[in-house]
């Protein structure tokens, strides 16, 4: 049976070299989704990984991570959201480590917050419309506007939240269909001032179908792949990813929807497109 000593050791210097080989340069705004376990046994743990990335980005760069809490996923009424203490959910150890740092900024969306460190951290997290968690005016929309990049470190396109942003901005329309019908069209949130009901204009849906984007991005020359330590990675410009999604959805509006029969979200969204006369 393999033990901890059988896991390849990876130094921070190796991580820096691998990131530079992927194309990461100083001054970039970077959104990162990660599975740290795929990197290998890193000397210094999660903190060392973050420091290596920040060192490559330099003092003018900014690192962003998802800190989603899904505060209304299984509850009709969410607890009051506190960016300093509300735990993130299923975003990985690197994201958890980053948002807890004293130099991190975290947006105040009760379900889809993001955290950032660096020169533009406050700017990128300052405003986060509750009605449009990943669409217009969101931190991920600003990532596109600031010509930022996305790094999928040890994970695939099914973890790439920017694809949801592209769906929302594309005008495809099906983002008004909730991920689950039980969520309804609004979310009740407890705030220090009391409970409020906030209408939702968009809902992030299923991402199981997103890996179909990978060959499209490769064909366009928009995707760089490589390793960081032992972790397979995908690196891309945010703007080029969004433009690609716009293009494929114009041609085939259900391109990103999965075909799993048990998927309520994609089934309902495909029916929405048919009802709109966009699928036959």
Structure tokens given for 34 = 């990660």
Band of pLDDT at residue 3, cut at 50, 70 and 90: low
pLDDT (tens digit, 9 = 90+) per residue, 87-141? 888 889 999 999 999 999 999 888 889 999 999 999 999 999 888 889 999 999 9
pLDDT of residue 165: 97
pLDDT at residue 200 in the model: 65
For 196-250, give the DSSP string.
EEEE-S------TTGGGHHHHHHHHT--EEEEETTEEEEEEEHHHHHHHHHHHHH
Q: Which of 175-179, 182-186, 191-195, 214-218 has the lowest mean pLDDT?
A: 182-186
> CB burial class (10 A; 0-12, 13-18, 19+) of residue 100?
middle
The rounded distance, in Å, linking the Cα atoms of 42 and 142 is: 32
Task: Give the count of beta carbons closer than 10 Å to the beta carbon of residue 260.
Answer: 13
β-strand pairing of 186-191 with 194-199:
antiparallel
Assess contact for 113 and 107: CB atoms under 8 A.
yes
Q: What is the pLDDT of residues 219-276, one digit of tens each?
A: 999 999 999 999 999 999 999 999 999 999 999 999 999 999 999 999 999 999 999 9
Burial status of residue 16 (CB atoms within 10 A of its CB: 0-12, 13-18, 19 or more): middle
Instruction: Note the pLDDT tens digit of each residue in 20-48.
Output: 999 999 999 999 999 999 999 998 999 99
d(CA 130, CA 138): 9
Q: Looking at the predicted structure, is the pLDDT value of residue 189 above 60?
A: yes
| pLDDT at residue 218 is higher than 80 | yes
Contact 140, 160 (CB under 8 A): no
């Amino acid at each position: 049976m393999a033990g901890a000593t059988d896991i390849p050791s990876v130094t921070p210097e190796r991580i820096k070299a691998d990131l530079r080989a992927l194309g990461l340069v100083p001054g970039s705004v970077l959104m990162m989704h990660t599975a740290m376990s795929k990197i290998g046994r890193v000397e210094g743990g999660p903190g060392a990984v973050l420091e290596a990335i920040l060192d490559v980005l330099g003092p003018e760069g900014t690192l962003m991570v998802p800190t989603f809490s899904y505060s209304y996923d299984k509850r009709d009424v969410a607890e009051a959201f506190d960016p300093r203490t509300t735990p993130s959910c299923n975003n990985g150890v690197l994201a958890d480590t980053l948002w807890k740092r004293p130099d991190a900024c975290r947006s105040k969306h009760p379900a889809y917050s993001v955290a950032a460190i660096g020169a533009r951290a406050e700017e990128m997290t300052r405003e986060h419309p509750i009605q449009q968690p990943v669409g217009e005016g969101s931190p991920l929309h600003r990532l596109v506007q600031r010509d930022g990049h996305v790094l999928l470190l040890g994970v695939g396109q099914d973890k790439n939240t920017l694809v949801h942003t592209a769906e929302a901005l594309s005008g495809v329309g099906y983002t008004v269909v909730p991920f689950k019908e039980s969520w309804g069209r609004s979310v009740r949130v407890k705030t220090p001032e009391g409970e409020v009901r906030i209408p939702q204009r968009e809902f992030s849906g299923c991402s199981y179908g997103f890996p179909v984007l990978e060959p499209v991005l490769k064909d366009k020359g928009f995707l760089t792949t490589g390793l960081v330590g032992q972790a397979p990675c995908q690196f891309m410009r945010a703007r080029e990813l969004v433009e690609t999604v716009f293009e494929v959805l114009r041609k085939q509006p259900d391109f990103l929807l999965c075909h799993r029969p048990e998927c309520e979200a994609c089934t309902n969204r495909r029916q929405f497109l048919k009802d709109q006369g966009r699928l036959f």
